[in-house]
Chain A
Amino acid sequence: MTPALTIDTRDGADGTAVLHVAGDIDLSNVERFRQALAGGPPGERFVVDLTDVTYLDSSGVAALFGRAKQGGLELVIAEGCVVASLVELAHLDDLATIRTS
C-alpha cells in the first residue's frame, strides 16, 4: 500500500524543532501538509525534514513554495532521490536552504 502521510515535530540535533514528514504527498493530503508548513512563524528558521517522503507531486512543491516565500525555510532531503530532483527542478533552492541527509 502507498505509505500514508505522517507529520510530526521532533527535536533536531541542534535543539531546534524539526517538522518531520514521511510518506506520499499528493492532492489527497496536500492540504494537511500545507497547514503543517504554516506552523512556523514567517521569516524564522523553519526546518522540514523530507528524508522519508516517498512521493511528492506539484501540489506539494507548490505548498513548499508558499512557505519558502515567507523566508527561513530549511529542507532536509535524501540525496539522489526523486524528491531531490523535484526540488531542484522547481528552483526551490533560490528561496530555501537545502540540506542533504
Chain B
Amino acid sequence: MAPGGCRHPTGVGDAGRYDAVIAPDMSEPSSRPTVPDDTVAQQAQAGSSALPLFAGGDVAAVMAGFDWSASTLGPPAQWPGLLQTMVRILLTSRFSMWMGWGPDLRFLYNDAYARDTLGAKHPWALGRPAREVWSEAWDDLGPRIDAVLRTGQATWDEALLLFLERSGYREETYHTFSYSPISDVDGGIVGMLCVVTEDTERVINDRRLATLGGLAAELSSAQTERAVFDAVTERLAANRQDLPFALTYVFEGDGGARLAAASGIDVGHPAAPPRIDVKGGDAAWPLDEVLRTGRSVLLDGVATRFGALPSGAWEDPPDRALLVPLAEGGQTDPVGVFVAACNPYRPPDPAYRNFAELLAGQVASAMASARAYEAERQRAEALAELDRAKTEFFSNVSHEFRTPLTLILGPVEDALADDLEPLPDPQRLRLRVVQRNARRLRRLVNDMLDFARIEGGRLEAETVPTDLAALTREVALSFAPAVERAGLAFHLDVEPSVRPVAVDQGMWEKIVLNLLSNALKFTLAGSVTCRLRPEGDTMVLAVSDTGVGVPADQLPLLFQRFHRAPRTAARSHEGTGIGLALVAELARLHGGSVAATSEPGVGSTFTVTIPMGTATGTAIAGQRESSRQAFLDEALQWVADEVDEADTADRRTLAGRTAEATVLVADDNPDVRGYLRRLLEPFWRVVVAADGAEALELARRDPPDLVLTDVMMPRLDGFGLLTGLRRDPATATVPVVFLSARAGEEAAVEGLDAGADDYLVKPFSGIELVARVRSNLELAALRNREAQWRAALVESLQDGVAVTDAAGRMVEANAAFERILGYSHTDRYDPPYPWFPDPEREPAHFAQTNGAFEQLLAGERLNAVLPVRHRLGHQLFVALSASAVGEGDDRRFVVALHDVTAELAAAEREAALAQLATGLAEATDVAGVRRAGLAELRRVFGATDAVVVSWADDRPQARGADGSAVPLDGRATEALARARDERRVVAAAADGSRTSVEDEAGPVSEEAGPVSGVAAPLDPADVHRALWLDIDPPRPMSADDRSLVRLVANLFGQALRRAQLFDDLREVATALQRSILGPTDVPDGMAVRYLPAVRALEVGGDWYDVVGLAEGCLAVVVGDCTGRGLQAATTMGQLRSACRALLLQAKGPADVIDALDSFAERIPGASCTTVFCAVIDTDEGTMRYSCAGHLPAVVLEPSGATTLLDQASALPLGIAPGRSRPEASATLAQGATVLLYTDGLVERRHEAIDAGIARLRLALGDMAGHHPTAIADGVLDALLPAEGQEDDVAVVAYRQGTPDLHLTAPASPEHLGVLRQQLRHWLAAVGVAQRPADELVVAVGEACANAMEHAYGFDPAAEVAVDATYRAGRIEVRVTDRGGWKEARSTSDERGRGLAIMRALVDEVDVQRDPGGTVVQLRRRLAAPDAAREG
C-alpha cells in the first residue's frame, strides 16, 4: 500500500481500507465456519456507516436509483451482509469486475466493467440474469460458470475470443478472466465473481504486426512483380481475420485495372473481376474515386453490392471494405488500389485504416523495386539480343560463303587430280590459281566465322594436352619454304616444355601461322625467328623479324580488328586486317595474352604468352581442319609467281602426318637410329634417344605413344627403360617394343616376361617393323580407350574425386579436386591430409574432419559436410561422400567432394537478410532504421563500417549508425559517385597504392582481387542516397555478395524511405498537436507540460488548456482522445476549441462536459474521449470540477498531504449523451497545488492504474511548497520511465496563490542562520531566481540583525517576526520587533551602513517605529526574468 494512500484514509480510491474487511470474511471462508452470520452483517454494517453501499462512480449512481424491489434481489437494505460487502468491493474497485448472485446469477458490475466490456448494455444489464446479459457468448461462458458453481474451483482463461454485442454490433474481443465462486459462511456457493481484463487491442495489434512483418520479410526477396504479388497473395491469406479477403488492383495504361493479387477470394468472383474498367460507371469497386482523390475510401454496404462474399475466418461475410491507394512515398499518382475487406467484427477505426495503409505502402514500394529490376533486366536482355543478332548475321553470311567455296574447290581439286583425263598445262596453271585463291578465301571465311563464334561466346578452346614444342616446330617448318623462298633466314628455336601444354591445336596453329605470315609480309630482308620457351607456368612464343617495324603510336592499335598498317613497305597490301586481332582473341581464349614491341626500320617482335593450363578435352579429340596449306599458299604467292608443285606436295604429306602418334626410338647406334627414323617418319612423329636413360627422360617429359628400344644400351638398357616406364603412372601404359640382335625363344620370353608388348629380332624388314609398330599402336589405343574414357569421365566431373588405398594414401585425383582444394592432383598425400583444418588453431574443426576420415578408414560410409582449408589458407566447406571398394590390402576408398562454401554462405546470407528485414520492420523512425540497418549490414558483410551517404551540392555526406557524420576518402567518394550515376553496385578494389574501381558488370570476377569497399545505390527511385561499406582488410567479393549488397541496399533504402514518410507524418501531426495543444504562456503560478510519446509511431491525442475567465476565474482542462495520429490530433483540436468556447460562455464544468457530450457525437473519433474540467476561482481559492472518465486530479496541500478529486466522475464523452453530468467542488488552501494529468503519466503495462496514482501521490508528497514548475518537472522525472514514455503525457499544475511566510525567532544572533535558510526555501518555492533571492536574504538579514541588536540587545526571550508575502509579482517582507529602540548600542556608522545595504538591494524600505516596537517593510518587484523559472 502506498504511503500516500495510508495518510488519507478517506480517499475513495484507497484500497487499503478494504483489506481490513476482506481479510476475515473472504480470504479464508472455510477456516472460520463458526463465525455467526450476524458478525458478518455487523462488519458490513460497520463498513457501511463509513461508506454508503453504492459509493463510487456512474454505476453506483445508477444502482442507487434502481428499483430493486422489482428484481429478485429485493431491496438493498435486505441484502445479505455478504452481498453488501461484495457490492462494495465491486463498486469501488478499478479492476473490471462483475458478479452473479443467487440461483440465476443476477448481474452486478462496476464502472470499469461497464466502460470496457458492457458498453451499450449498461445500465440495461443491471440485475438481469447473467445468461440473458451475455446470451450471445453463453455457449462459451455457460459451461465455465456451471463448472465454477458445481465444483467451487476457479477458472482462468487467457485472451479468450468472445463475440460481444456491446457497441451495437457483434464485436471480436479477447478477454483474460477468472471466475471464482462466492461462498457463504456455510461453504455453500451463492454466486460467482469474475475479474476480467480486456486484451482485444493487444491481440489484434499483434496479429496485424505479424502480418506486416511477415509481408515485409517476404517482399524483401521479391524481385519481380509476379513474386511481389505471389508474396502478397500468400501472406495476406494467412490473416483471414483482419482481411477476410484482399485484392490488389494495378492500373494499366488503357484506363483499366488488372487484378494482380487476390487472397481469400476466387478470381472471377463478382467482387474480384480480373479486370475493372476504372472509368466505367458500373465498376465492381469505385477505383476511380481512389485514383481521383489519392486517398483511402471506406466502402459500406459491400454485402449488398456483391451478394454472397467469402467470410474469411468468420461466420459473417464482410460488409465494409477499405480501398487504399497503392502509392509510393513521395508519389502522388497511385499505381493501383489495395482493397481490404474489413473484419465485420471490428470497427473500421484509424488503427484498421492504418494497418491497411501500411500494407498498401509495402506493396507499392515492393512494386516500384520490382519494376526497376524488371526495367534493368529488359535492358540487359535487349542488348544481349542485339549482340546475338549481329553474331548470327555474321555467321550466316560466312556460312553462306562456305558452301559455294566448297563447290568451287572440290571440282577444281578433282580436275587437278584427274590422271585419266589430265588437264593440259595451261589449264592446270589457271586452275591452280583458282585453287589457291579459293583456299585463301575459305581461310578468311573461317577466320570470320571464328570471330563470330568468339563474339557470341560460342568458340571455346578445346584444349588437349599437347607437346607444344613439337606442334610449333611442325607448324613453323610447314611455313619455312615460304620464308626461305623469300630469301630470308629462318631461325627456329623451340625448347620443349616440361609437361604437355593445354592448347587447342587448331587455334595454336593459327596463332603461329598468322604471326609468321605477318612477319614475312613486312620483312623485305634479313630474317624471321620463331622462338618457344617455357617460362614458369607459361609458354612464350616470340616471332621476331627484321622488317619495317611499327611506329610507337600504332602499336596499341595492332590487335584491333580490321586495323591495317598504313601504307608501308610490305610484300603485299592485301589482307583483311583481322590476322593479329584473331591472334589476340585466340590467345585470350587460352587464358593468355599477346604483346608487341617494335622499332621502325629495325624490326618487330610479337609475343604470345599462354598458361600451360589444364586440358578440357582429351588427347583423342579429333583434329580440326588444318589451315597450314592455305597460309603457305598465300605466303608463297607473295614471294613467287610460280609455286613448286613437288615441294608443296611433299610438305602436304609432312603436314598430314601430325595427326599420327609419336614413336620414341632408343638405340645407341646412330646408323640404326637414322634408319629407323627414315622408316617411321613417313607415318609417325619420331623422337630419338641415344640410350635408355635419355629415352626415359624424354618419355617422362612427353610420353610417347610407343617406345621402340634396343635391349643392349649403355647407361640404361632396354629392361631398365621398361621398368622405369612401367613405374611411372604417366608412362605405365605406353607399349614398348624390343629390338634385339639376340635371337631365340628365350630372348623373346625374357622380354615379354619383363612386360614388353612386342619383340623384334634384328635384322628385320622395314615393312614388318612398320606393321608391328602400327598394330601395337592400335592395340594400345584399344587398350587405353577404356582407361582414357574413364579418366576423361573423372576429369570432366565438376566434383572432386580422389581414390585412396587401404591406408588412406591418395593414389589418384582429378583436376576438379585440385581446383577445389588447391593441392596438385598428381601428388600423393597421406592422412592427416594437408587440407585438413589446422589442429592447433581450429581443433574442433580438425577433430570433426579428421574423425570423419578415421571412421571412413575403419569401414564406415562417409557422407557429411566438413570444414577444410584451401592450400591458400581460406576456409572451405565441402560436401563429402566416400565409400569403400574391394577388400583387404586391395581395398580402395573413393571420395567425392563438392564445394558447398558458397551455398552455405548464401544460406547464411538469406538468414541475415530475413533478420535485416525483421529489424527494419520493427524500426519506426529514420534514426531507428539507420541504426538497425547499418548494424546488420556491417554484420552480414563483415564490414568495418557501414554508412548512409547523401549528396548536397554534389558533396557526399556520410552518416554512421548513430547518426554522426563520418569522413569519406577519395576512393569511397569515387565509387559512390559512380554507384549513384550508373545506378549499380561498385566495388573499390585496392591493390597496393593504386586504387581501381570496378563494377559488377565489369571484368571483376572472384579471383579479381580483394575489395576494400563497396558502394551501392540505396533505392532505384532515390538518386540522392547511397550506401558505403568499408572493408578492411580488403577481401574478395563474389558476384553473389555483390547482388546481395544490391538487394540489401534496396531493402534498406525502402525502409529508410518508409521511415522518412512516417517521420514526416509524425512531425506534421506533432506540429499540429502542438499548435492546437494549448497555451504555453500561462499565468504566473502555473506550469504546463506536454511530452509526445517517445517510441510510438504517431502522436497521441492528449491535450490541455488553460483559459482565463472573468472575475479572477481560471479554467483548467486536460483530455485524452482515443486513437493516435492525425485523426486523433484533429479530433482533439475540435474538442479543445469547443471546450474553450463553452468555458468562455461562463458555463460550469458539468455544463461544459454535458455540451461536449453531444458535440462528441458529431465528431468522428471523439467518442470515448476523457476530459477533466475544472474552473478555479483564484481569489476565493475554490474550484468546481467535473470529470468524464478521466483520471482524478490530485490536490497537494502545503502540508504534503494529497487528495484525489474524484467526486464528480462519470462516463467518457459520447458514450451516453443526455445524462446530466456530476459536478463537485473543492477548496484550495493558500499554497495548495492542483495537478491535472493524462494517463501516460501513471499508466504502466501490467500494472493497475491505482498503483500508478499511488506512485504519483507519493512523489507529490515530497514536493509540498515547491513552485508549480518544479512540481510539474518533478512528477515527470519521478514517474516516467528512463527509456522514454510509450504514451504521450500532458500535465497541468496550478498553485493557489503563494503560501505566505510567517517566521519568528528568539532575538539572538545564532538564530539568524535559521531565519535565512527558511527565507531562502520560501523564495525558491515562490520561484524567485538565485540572484534576487540572495539580495533579498541580505536585506532581510540586515533588518533582523538590526531588530535583535537595537531593539532587544540580543535578549533571547524576546522575539523577532518575519512575515513575507508574494502578490502580483511583488515580494513584501515585514520584520517586526516589540522592543524599544536603543540607539546607543551601535555606532551610527554601522547602522547606517545596514540601512544603505537594504535600500540598495530592495525597491522600497519603510521603517515605522513607535513605542510598541519597530516594523521594517521591504518590498521588491520581481522583473519577469527574476521570477521566471518557467520557460
A: which residues have CB within 8 A of B? 1-2, 24, 26-29, 55-59, 61-62, 80-82, 85-86, 89-90
Contact = CB atoms under 8 A, between A and B. Distances in A.
A82 B1402 CA distance: 13
Interface stretch (B644-652, B1155-1163, B1181-1189, B1392-1400): B1392-1400
Interface string B1392-1422: 0110110011000000000000000000000
B1338 A24 contact: no
Nearest to A30: B1309
B1349 interface: yes
Contact of A2 (B1314, B1345, B1391): B1314
B1313 A61 contact: no
The 5 closest A-B pairs by CB, nearest first: A2-B1313, A28-B1309, A27-B1309, A58-B1394, A82-B1334
B1390 interface: yes
Interface in B1005-1032: none
A58 B1334 contact: no
B1312 interface: yes
Most chain-B Cβ atoms within 10 A of its Cβ — which of A55, A58, A59, A86?
Answer: A58
Nearest to A89: B1400
A55 B1338 contact: yes
A89 B1400 CA distance: 8
B1236 interface: no
Nearest to A80: B1331
A86 B1399 CA distance: 12
**Which bracket fits the contact residues of B?**
20 to 34
A81 B1330 CA distance: 10
A85 B1334 CA distance: 11
Contacts of B1312: 26-28
Contact of B1390 (A2, A28, A58, A89): A58
B1342 A55 contact: no
B1317 A2 contact: yes
Nearest to B1314: A2
22 contacts: A1-B1317, A2-B1313, A2-B1314, A2-B1316, A24-B1316, A26-B1312, A26-B1313, A27-B1309, A27-B1348, A28-B1309, A28-B1313, A55-B1341, A57-B1341, A57-B1397, A58-B1391, A59-B1345, A61-B1397, A62-B1393, A82-B1338, A85-B1401, A89-B1397, A90-B1393
B581 to A, nearest CB: 87
Given A24-B1316, A82-B1331, A82-B1338, A58 B1397 contact: yes
Contact of B1310 (A28, A56, A59, A90): A28
Nearest to A27: B1309
A82 to B, nearest CB: 4
B962 to A, nearest CB: 38
Contacts of A82: 1331, 1334-1335, 1338
Nearest to A5: B1313
- B interface SS class: helix
B181 to A, nearest CB: 61
A55 B1394 contact: no
Given A57-B1394, A58-B1393, A81 B1310 contact: no
Contacts of A90: 1393
B1095 to A, nearest CB: 43
Interface in B1304-1320: 1309-1310, 1312-1314, 1316-1317
Contacts of B1397: 57-58, 61, 86, 89
A95 to B, nearest CB: 14
B1393 A27 contact: no
A76 to B, nearest CB: 19
B1337 interface: yes
Interface in B1180-1210: none
Contact of A85 (B1317, B1335, B1341, B1394): B1335
Contacts of B1334: 81-82
Contacts of B1317: 1-2
Nearest to B1401: A85
Contact of A27 (B1314, B1349, B1391): B1349
A33 to B, nearest CB: 13
Contacts of B1341: 26, 55, 57
A56 B1331 CA distance: 14
Nearest to A28: B1309
B313 to A, nearest CB: 70
Contact of A62 (B1310, B1349, B1390, B1401): B1390
A90 B1337 CA distance: 18
B1338 A56 contact: yes
Contacts of A86: 1338, 1397
A27 B1315 CA distance: 13
A52 to B, nearest CB: 14
Nearest to B1312: A26
A24 B1396 CA distance: 20
B775 to A, nearest CB: 116
Given A2-B1314, A82-B1334, A58 B1309 contact: no
Contact of A1 (B1313, B1338, B1349, B1389): B1313
Contact of A58 (B1314, B1316, B1331, B1342): B1342
A49 to B, nearest CB: 19
A26 B1345 contact: yes
